[in-house]
Amino acid sequence: MDINIKNMVCQRCILVVSQIFERAGIEIENIQLGKVKTTNEVAPGKLEQVDKSLKRMGFEIINDSKGRLIESIKNITVDYVYHHSGESKMNFSEYLTGKLNLDYPYLSSLFSSVEGTTIEKYMISLKIERVKELLVYDEKTLSEIAFEMGYSSVAHLSGQFKKITGFTPSYFKKLREQNRKSINDV
C-alpha cells in the first residue's frame, strides 16, 4: 500500500516517519521523501492512528491527488538542490517534467495556486538555506559553494543571497547559525 506523507523533506523526516509506522506495528517495504510503501494493506482505523501521530510531529497523510503532486514537486526540488544542482547543466523545469511526466506550465500553475509562491522562488529559498548551511560549516570557499549550488558565478550567488537575506555571504558567515531556517520552514 502506498501512503503519501506531507512535509517529509529530509533524512531525519524519514527516520521519524518510519518510527511512527514501526510503533503502530506497520511493516514498511520502502520509505522515501513523501512516500511510504507498506508491506500489507493498513486497516482504516490503524491509518487514522498513524495520521494522528504524524500530525503531532508536523506531518500528515495526503489523500488528494493535487496535494500528492505538490509534495512530489517539493521533494524533487529538495532532492535537486541538496544532491544534484551542480552536477549537470540540465534546466530544472526539464528535470522536473522528466521526473513527473507532466507539462511544466501545469506544474508551475498548480504549485503557485496552492503554495502562494512560484517553484522558482521556492527553489531559490531552498538554495539560500543550503548556502547558509555550507557557510556555517566553513569547509568550502564561496566559489566552491557557488559551483556546487549551480550558480554561474560567485557574484550571482552573492547578489541573490543578499537579496533574500539582506546580508552578504561573508557577513552572514560571521553571524553563523543565528539566521538559519530549518528546511521544514522554507
Beta bridge partners of 31: 36
Give 104-129 pLDDT, tens digit per residue: 999 999 999 999 999 999 999 999 99
Cα distance between residue 100 and residue 89, in whole Å: 19
pLDDT at 50 over 90: yes
Cell numbers standing for residue 59:
506531518
Domains annotated for the chain, with CATH where assigned, are 2-63 (3.30.70), 69-186 (1.10.10.60)
What pLDDT sits at residue 79?
87
DSSP string computed for 94-124? HHHHHHH-S-HHHHHHHHHHHHSS-HHHHHH
Q: What is the CA radius of gyration of the chain?
A: 18
Record the pTM: 0.75
Q: How many CA atoms lie within 13 A of 38 on its CB side?
A: 20
First-to-final CA distance of the chain: 30
